[in-house]
Amino acid sequence: MSGAVTVSNIGGARLTLGFDRFDRLDLERHKAVHGRLITPALPELVEMAERVDLRGRGGAGFPFARKLMAVAARIRHPSSDEVLLPGERADRRRPAADAVVVVNGAEGEPGSAKDKVLLTRAPHLVLDGASIAASALGTQRIVVAVEDDEAARSVRAAIVERRMPARVVRLTERFISGQAGAVIRAINGEQPIPPGQKVRASDSGVDDCPTLLSNTETFAQVAVLASLGSDLYAFSGTDDEPGTTLLTIGGTHVVEAPIGIPLQAVLKECDTPVGQGVLVGGYHGMWLDPAAVSRATLSRKGMKAVDGTVGAGIILPLTEGTCPLGEVTRIASYLAAQSAGQCGPCRLGLPDVVRTLNALCDGSGTVNDVRRACGIGRGRGACSHPDGTARFVLSALEAFAEDIRIHRYGGTCGQPVFGVLPLPVPTGSEGRVAIDWSRCDGHGLCAYLVPELIQLDRYGFPVVLGSDIPVWMERDVQKAVAMCPALALRVTTDPPKGAARRS
């Protein structure tokens, strides 16, 4: 992907230093650009991360120092003359165990490219950050989890160059594959889905060992912080949130920018118009209307002021000429099919959200119907996927209120759905449920067997949800097809009308 992505910087390069001269920084070039590897001791690294309030760049924004201390508390052997970490008590430490450092290079979200750019063009910067954390924790166990073929090759080559005892693990390319629990399960050889219950990686991660897991950019930031020191690192950004961050604009442009920069300045740098609105934070993020975009700054504080989020740094403007509600429904359908299907909010709640959006599109539904569907099971999912999807949909109701009003009274806004929001390139294996209406007699058995995808109308005939069949439902759908009394239920690979896809 990195070959098709434009990379630039605003106000000076740090993470992207050397990109103007080299397509990829091998070890020799990396040392020439970034200097020698500096490995501060654990207390020093924790202090540096706290001074600049270094947060994870994967979306959750969890303080890196707290993650580091949580793992350290599980592995360090207390002694009478040992200096304790801030807030640590020797009598509260658990038995020591080996630590593992995991670089989460999974970018399951179609609109993101920043981590792949780092892994393919500056892999040694990422490995520097992982080595710094591993050294501070007294371990050599480093795992880099990636989805992309090019990224995997680049990291493996860098590992060989450094002769370091690290390994690369390939992940399944799914939206939920980047969730921390799913990454841990994949590394452990288990089904790569969220575990369904809250398990802290610092307590039990890879091989049940305390694990420090952060995303690719976070480890690159650690390397920059160790190289520059806290004072120079804080020279960019804001007083509250120092440093720079990587942003993916429109899925095709990665830009490094100082934290606190106006959102409009970044869009202008990428020659990207605001359009009808801008999605910030990706498909678990929030929509901003043009007025909010004009006030937004790219920081936690600045985004909170306009009811937005920086998230994983994904920014997707919605161009003019395409139906906003249709685009939102298209993405919601994709998110419903990407769930792990291990809880009610995913199995039944997300399909219901898609149904209410479809009804809103054709004028037969209401905004309150969508709100009700989004509210069911909130906070009760086995992972954050249903809540993130609901946040995406609910923010769209506010940002595109005028378009929704037109749909409500006219059944359409008159604009086609061009599919401008990025989705994975179809492989041809994606299946969808279809009905042969020349055969269907309205027995209703299909709705009983796969209620997630099929419901009955008031006359008892099936109404099919036009989304891909989730992986976890494939067996149930095959069973329903085989048991249909009229042989009317089918599986097709033809995309539903209006569901155009673009990579």
- pLDDT tens digits along 175-208: 988 899 999 999 999 988 888 777 889 999 999 9
State the CB neighbour count (10 A cutoff) for residue 46. Answer: 20
Quickly state the pLDDT bin for 272 (edges 50, 70, 90). Answer: very high
Q: List pLDDT tens digits, range 72-126.
A: 998 854 443 444 555 555 544 444 568 999 999 998 889 999 999 999 999 999 9
pLDDT reading at 481 higher than 70? yes
More confident site: 428 or 400: 400
CA distance 155 to 135: 19
What pLDDT, on the 0 to 100 scale, is given for residue 199? 82
Q: What is the pLDDT of residue 500?
A: 41
Q: What residues pair up with 142 in beta bridges, in sequence order? A: 101, 166
Whether the predicted pLDDT of 376 surpasses 90? no
Task: State residue 150's pLDDT score.
Answer: 95
Residue range 472-480: average pLDDT? 93
Q: 35-69: per-residue pLDDT in tens?
A: 999 999 999 999 999 999 999 998 888 999 999 99
Question: What letter would DSSP give residue 490?
Answer: E
Predicted pLDDT at 495: 62
Burial 278-298 (b: 16+ CB within 10 A, else e): bbbbbbbbbbbbeebbeebbb
Residue ranges per structural domain of the chain: 2-233, 260-317, 324-410, 432-492
Q: Where are the alpha helices (DSSP H) in 400-441?
A: 401-410
pLDDT in tens, 206-242: 999 999 999 999 999 999 999 999 999 999 999 999 9
Q: How far is CA 144 from CA 206, 370, 484, in A?
A: 12, 39, 46
Task: Report pLDDT for 231.
Answer: 96
| pTM listed for this prediction | 0.90
pLDDT for residue 76 = 57
Asked whether residue 498 carries a pLDDT value surpassing 70, the answer given is no
| 2-233: in CATH 3.20.20.80 | no
**The pLDDT of residue 501 is above 80:** no
The answer for residues whose C-beta is within 8 angstroms of residue 235's C-beta and 6 or more apart is 242
Mean pLDDT of the chain: 91
Q: Which residue has the higher pLDDT, 348 or 94?
A: 348
User: 436 pLDDT band (50/70/90 cuts)?
Assistant: very high
User: Average of pLDDT values for 30-36?
Assistant: 96
CATH architecture of 432-492: 2-Layer Sandwich (3.30)
Q: pLDDT confidence of 446, banded at 50, 70, 90? A: very high
Work out the pLDDT band at 444, boundaries 50, 70, 90: very high
Residue, of 172 and 68, whose pLDDT is higher: 68
Tokens of 193: 């889905």
As a whole-number percent, the residues of the chain with pLDDT over 90 amount to 79
Name the least confident of 149-163, 357-371, 426-440. Answer: 426-440
Topology annotation, domain 324-410: de novo design (two linked rop proteins) (1.20.1440)
Exposure of 360 by Cβ count < 10 A (0-12 exposed, 13-18 middle, 19+ buried)?
Answer: buried
Burial group, residue 319, by CB count within 10 angstroms (0-12, 13-18, 19+): middle
Q: Is the pLDDT of residue 438 over 70?
A: yes
Predicted local confidence at residue 187, as pLDDT: 96
